[in-house]
A and B are shown apart, each in its own frame.
Chain A
Amino acid sequence: MQTIALIGNPNCGKTTLFNTLTGTTAYVGNWPGVTVEKKEGMVNGHRILDLPGIYSLSPYSPEEKLSRRYILDEQPDLIIDVIDATNLERSLYLTTQLAELGRPLLLALNMEDLLEKEGIRIDRKRLSQMTGCPVVQISASKGTGIKALLEEIERSLDQKRLPMQPLFSNFIERYITTIIKDDYLHQIPKGRQMRWAAIKLLEADELFLASMPQPPQAFQTYIEQARKELVEHYDDDVQAIIIDQRYKVAERIAKDCQIRTKKAKQFNFDNLATSKFGAIPLFIAIMAAVFYLSIGLVGGYTTSWLESFFAFASLHIQVLSDALQVHPLLSGILVDGIIAGVGAVLTFVPQLFVLFLLLSILEDCGYMARIAFIMDRLMRSMGLSGKSIIPLVIGTGCSVPAIMSSRTIEHQKQRELTVIVTPFIPCGAKMPVFALMLTYFFPGKWFIAPLIYLLGILAVVITGLLARALDKHKETNAFILELPRYQIPAAKNIWLQTKDRTLGFIQKAGTIILLSSIIIYLLSSYSFTLQAVDAELSMLATMGRLIAPLFAPLGFGFWQASVALLTGIAAKESIVSTLSVTIGTSSLGSFFTPDTALSYMTFILLSSPCIAAISAMFKELGSKRKLLFAVLWQTGFAYVAALLIRSATLLLL
């Protein structure tokens, strides 16, 4: 079975092509030792691998190293270089590097549907001539050219033609030729081409040098001399010289094969989305619309309906069970445990569905990159990166994918800070308890809901400013960002992702919430001597009273509140289900007051997230020490904030 490697720049549509070619055979795994996704699938009976999007094959980032090592060691039978046809020149830079690796190379010019719109014409034949590679024009998103691509894949796998080698200036080629002639190069590991190795020697490429034995003194001297002469001649370091040479090749080819005609300036959404005065208002408006549509509109309609439904169901099932003389233990578990607990959570499914849907559209249409662009300056003043805003936005749905998406931030400190503050943003799972408290204690005062988000944002800002003030180095990293094209996201992808996340939420309800509700019910209905008792005398109460006093200053020092918080570790939705089982949603007033309700909500909002998010944080932070710090910071901050909020509320009311 032959293997194909799919490679290309970020945003070239490689993933769409991969999905088109592999259909349902795609499988996501992990490359050993790195946190990079490994995507494999089958196409026409061949194994195909989607390598990470990279701009270059230099030996620095994990993605580049991985792709390079894969191609050299695993020796795929064919490399398909996916090129954004509207970005030919820059794309060819990578191509010049791929051509040196000694594997058959096929160029797939993607996004052909956009060529006409942007006034570009590419001479495929000429491009094929100049590179020695077959060239196929496709549009992965529209599905055109795929058949031709598949045919060309078969042909290339059959013929195994190697691409032409891009040639540098005569001055450099002289050195390359001399190096190749030396015996030393006969020792290169299997699969490496001599020319490629020679270039690596000139560049003093660390990865390559590490794979080779120490060169003999004379040869070593020659290379050092060559490097010195190159530096003198070009007035630049050798790596820069080679990069420059590659781009010259890319320029030459692009100039010969491409014709660009200037198109009239069309209206671009970016004229608004990144404009000086419109950008931020637009961003706020879009986020406000997302929340209004999901929680305000859909939530408003469906929540009360579903609550009545569950109340109705539980009442009737209780009556039925009593009539059938079902043992109170069993009916208790069913009605006061399962239905009460799970029902409390399920009432939120409709609004979370809409929230996930809107966030998914936002994620896939390309707008997120604009947000990063707009917010970068502001974020940096808080020790974060513009790219940090993306996890913060996704975090309104769920912290787990949000924390994962912080990987796009190159700067380690900024990335870690982002990971720590992301859980401050209220996630979908925390909404049930907020909604419960708000409708009970502050009916009609809808404006408090946005304040919760503001509080989360404030926590992010404060933490960021503090981190920045304490940071002695104040180094920043490169922000270099390519704004991807806007696209109407594929309906199928949106639907799958939304359905997936919503089902995930329901699944959590049917598993963690279900089990914890039953356990809580049992523990709160029986004493340690297994006698049926009032909640106050139950096992749960006794256990809860051990930690409850910690929260006395915050106003919720009763065991039901602490126990609920503890169950929140498994999943934040559990808090509302536990309260539902131990207190009952209609009796909140006997335990909480408006000020303690607010302090409780504040604590829940800011304290450390559920176990899933904690493990996501651990994966990103990498060390137990950093994780501990994160959890302590979040919980400590939450405690202080809750205290302040409570005091403020008492003063104001």
Chain B
Amino acid sequence: MMHMTMDELTVGQKGAVKAINAPKQLKRRLMDMGFTKGVGVEVVKLAPMGDPMEVSLRGYHLCLRKAEARAIELR
């Protein structure tokens, strides 16, 4: 079964969060920022070197590294 994760999205692509697969601390932080099950995310842009990425969710924008975005599984 193919799992798509948020780091695989390119600019303009959207997705909905399915699960967060991360160690407890990172998971909690991501969830605190709003990455909960079902929430819609969209990639707004990538940094000049391709990483980090800026995404929009819940009406606001957030930057995070691709390594962290990989923890966010989408459907």
Contact = CB atoms under 8 A, between A and B. Distances in A.
A482 B47 contact: no
Interface stretch (A33-41, A174-182, A238-246): A238-246
B54 A377 contact: no
Contacts, number: 105
Interface residues of A, number: 38
Given A244-B31, A480-B33, A376 B52 contact: yes
A145 B6 CA distance: 40
Nearest to B66: A377
A378 interface: yes
Interface in B45-62: 45-52, 54, 58-62
Contacts of A386: 52
Given A90-B58, A481-B63, A482-B63, A243 B31 contact: yes
Residue in A86, A236, A247, A480 with the greatest tally of chain B CB atoms within 10 Å: A480
A365 B26 CA distance: 29
A90 B27 contact: no
B5 to A, nearest CB: 16
A479 B36 contact: no
Interface of A: 55-56, 58, 60, 86-90, 93, 236, 239-240, 243-244, 247, 251, 254, 260, 274-277, 279-280, 373-374, 376-378, 386, 476, 478-483
B62 A480 contact: yes
A122 to B, nearest CB: 12
Interface of B: 19-20, 25-34, 36-37, 39, 45-52, 54, 58-65, 67-68
A60 B29 CA distance: 10
A377 B47 contact: yes
B54 to A, nearest CB: 7
9 shortest interchain CB distances as A-B pairs: A377-B49, A56-B32, A481-B63, A243-B31, A89-B58, A479-B65, A244-B36, A87-B60, A279-B48
Contact of B34 (A90, A277, A476): A90
A60 B28 contact: yes
B30 to A, nearest CB: 7
18 contacts: A58-B28, A60-B25, A88-B59, A89-B34, A89-B59, A247-B36, A254-B59, A274-B45, A274-B47, A275-B48, A276-B48, A277-B48, A377-B51, A480-B30, A480-B33, A480-B68, A481-B63, A481-B64
B33 A55 contact: yes
B48 to A, nearest CB: 5
Given A87-B60, A90-B58, A479 B34 contact: no
